Structure formats: C-alpha cells, structure tokens
C-alpha cells in the first residue's frame, strides 16, 4: 500500500469516528427533544384537567385555549422531530458509505444495524448476520422480552413522529369537548 492510500485510509478512519460520534449525538438529541415534548404536553394536559375540574364559571375559553396551544405545539414538534430525524439519517448514510470505503461493512455499526433490522423483519431460520458470536434468531428472541422485541422492530423515526400525532388527536378531542361541552 502506498503512502497516498494509507493517508486516505487514515482520513476515512478519522471521518468514520467523527460521523459515528455525530450520529450518536444526533440520536440522543432526538430522544431529548421527545422527552421535552412529553414533559410540555403533560403540563398542558394536566392544566386542561385542572381547569375542567375547577369551579370557575367561564372555563370554556381557557379549556379551548389550552387545548389549542397543545395542538399547535404538537404540530410544531412534528416539524422539529422530522428535522432531527433527517440529521440522524444523513449521518447514518455517511457512516454506511465510510464503512464501505474502509472495508469494514461486516463489523461496522451502521451496516450491522441494517442487517439486524432486516434479519428481524424476515425472521430467518439461519443465523443473523453478526460477526461474533454467531447467534440464531431463536436464541436472540430468548434473550429479549416482549418490550425489547417491539422496540427493536419499530424504527425510532416512527416513534418520534407517532407520539406527537397521538397528542394531536388528544388535543382535537379536548378542543372539541371544550367548544361543545355540556
């Protein structure tokens, strides 16, 4: 191997390490954003319930405003989470590309995660494409409980988008109740 190829390989390795760290950081940010969203929405829902159970005479406007604010927050949060997911995906694709360049496709974190997800979807009779130790899908299932199997089969980007959509539905129901309350 000549010096130029060695230099290129070293640059690819350094880039791979940086992309891996950025990918993990972006993933952590995505979950932090979701956590903040859930905290904020808990406050809105509890506020709505507190207003509803209060003895105020004209609580309909406050109930409607609280539900509307939560609805707007949920819609904005979908845009925020979508942007965050794009960053994660860009780092992921770049990481896969660098693994191919470095010829570490079989042991690289990016390509292995794809292989594991594909293997879980297909439920293979043979081995999951893991380098060491070799483990069958049945053995993998024995080591996981039901929640872990569910969470490993649902992509993160769906989770962080579905939760705000669920809250949108909740806020629409609360808003309708606020407007048409008995």
- The long-range contacts involving 7-15, CB below 8 angstroms and separated by at least 24 positions, are 9/102, 12/98, 12/101, 12/102, 13/102, 15/98
3-state secondary structure 40-62: HHHHHHHHHHHHHHCCCCCCHHH
| Residue (of 106, 86, 87) closest to 96 by Cα position | 106
Predicted pLDDT at 92? 86
| DSSP-assigned beta bridge partners for residue 136 | 127
**Does the predicted model carry a pTM greater than 0.75?**
no
pLDDT score recorded for residue 131: 45
Give the three-state DSSP class for 134: coil
Walk along the chain (182 residues) and give the pLDDT tens digit of each residue: 577 777 878 888 888 888 888 888 998 998 999 999 999 999 999 999 999 999 888 899 999 999 999 999 999 999 999 999 898 889 888 888 888 888 776 677 777 776 666 665 665 554 544 444 444 545 545 555 544 554 556 677 788 889 999 999 999 999 999 988 75
Instruction: Give the model's pLDDT for residue 4.
Output: 76
What is the radius of gyration, based on Cα positions, of the chain?
A: 23
Phi and psi at residue 127, to the nearest 5°: -80, 150
The CA distance from 73 to 76, in Å, is 5
């Amino acid at each position: 191997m000549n010096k130029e190829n060695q230099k290129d390989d070293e640059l690819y390795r350094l880039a791979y390490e940086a992309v891996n760290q950025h990918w993990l950081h972006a993933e952590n940010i995505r979950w932090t954003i979701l956590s903040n969203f859930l905290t904020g929405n808990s406050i809105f829902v509890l506020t709505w319930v507190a207003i509803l159970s209060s003895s105020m005479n004209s609580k309909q406007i406050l109930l409607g405003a609280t539900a509307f604010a939560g609805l707007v927050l949920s819609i904005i949060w979908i845009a925020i989470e979508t942007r965050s997911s794009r960053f994660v995906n860009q780092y992921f694709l770049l990481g896969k590309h660098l693994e191919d360049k470095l010829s570490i496709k079989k042991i690289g974190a990016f390509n292995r995660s794809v292989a594991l997800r594909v293997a879980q979807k297909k439920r293979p009779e043979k081995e999951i494409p893991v380098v060491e130790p070799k483990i069958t899908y049945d053995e993998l299932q024995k080591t996981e409980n039901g929640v872990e199997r569910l969470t490993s089969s649902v992509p993160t980007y769906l989770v962080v988008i579905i939760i705000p959509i669920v809250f949108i539905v909740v806020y629409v129901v609360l808003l309708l109740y606020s407007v048409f309350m008995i």
